Amino acid sequence: MEPIQPDTVRYLPSELISVGEYAEQIGRDRSAVHRFLKKEKITILKRRGPTGQTTSYIPRDAVKDLDELLEYGTYDRPRETRGDVGGRFYLIQIMPEEAPANITTGFTDNLPRRIMEYRTAWYTATVLHEWYARSSWERLLQDAIEAVPGITRSGEHFIITDIDAVIEQIETITKRLTPEPKFSALHY
């Protein structure tokens, strides 16, 4: 391994742990751990592997300090945090002609842009249905789709044979989760 920074010469490979490996150990996203390390001003060492890919490392002795910081809540955001923003939960039929049962789902705050992104690979992608949702509902709604009998799931992609049952399931849940509008009576 070829060092990129002069600091890496001080550490033996057994004294380092990759940021990705550490992130996996603590159940956090690698990019979130990188941001945390920079915020806490912890030295990140980089080494180039035999394939030319750069890997980030931290000293194993710094891990103990990180564990303490994480334990006391200095950094306690969940892994998928994007902020709980409003947007659209969608069902998109990727290939309506060839595989009409192949559906992808997800949350977006900009549905036209998301459709354009899908159409770069599948130019016939079609929105089957969309609902108002919060970003925090995405996983719940995907799990609800999986609970419908006869559904096969692979990540965000589903093989759906009974689309009406899925739409009914999602509508039931989104109606329960969506707050009722609050109107105030104006008195003159």
* pLDDT value for 48: 83
Residue 182: strand pairing partners:
none
Q: Assess whether pLDDT exceeds 80 at residue 164.
A: yes
pLDDT in tens, 174-186: 888 877 665 555 5
Residue 17 CA to residue 64 CA, distance in Å, equals 12
Q: Which two tokens stand for residue 121?
A: 């690979």
Instruction: Give the pLDDT band of residue 127 (cuts 50, 70, 90).
Output: very high
Contacts for 118 with CB less than 8 Å, ≥ 6 apart: 92, 94, 104, 125
With the C-alpha atoms ordered 111, 117, 119, 121, is the resulting torsion angle positive or negative?
A: negative
Comparing CA positions, the residue from 62, 71, 70 lying closest to residue 43 is 62
pTM of the full predicted structure? 0.52
Q: Assess whether pLDDT exceeds 50 at residue 73.
A: no
The domains located in the chain, with CATH, are: 2-71 (1.10.1660), 87-177 (no CATH)
Q: What average pLDDT does range 65-84 have in this prediction?
A: 52
pLDDT in tens, 21-52: 888 887 777 887 888 778 777 778 888 878 88
Four-point Cα dihedral 158, 163, 168, 174, nearest 10: 40
Three-state secondary structure along 87-137?
EEEEEEEEECCCEEEEEEEEEECCHHHHHHHHHCCCCCCEEEEEEEEEHHH
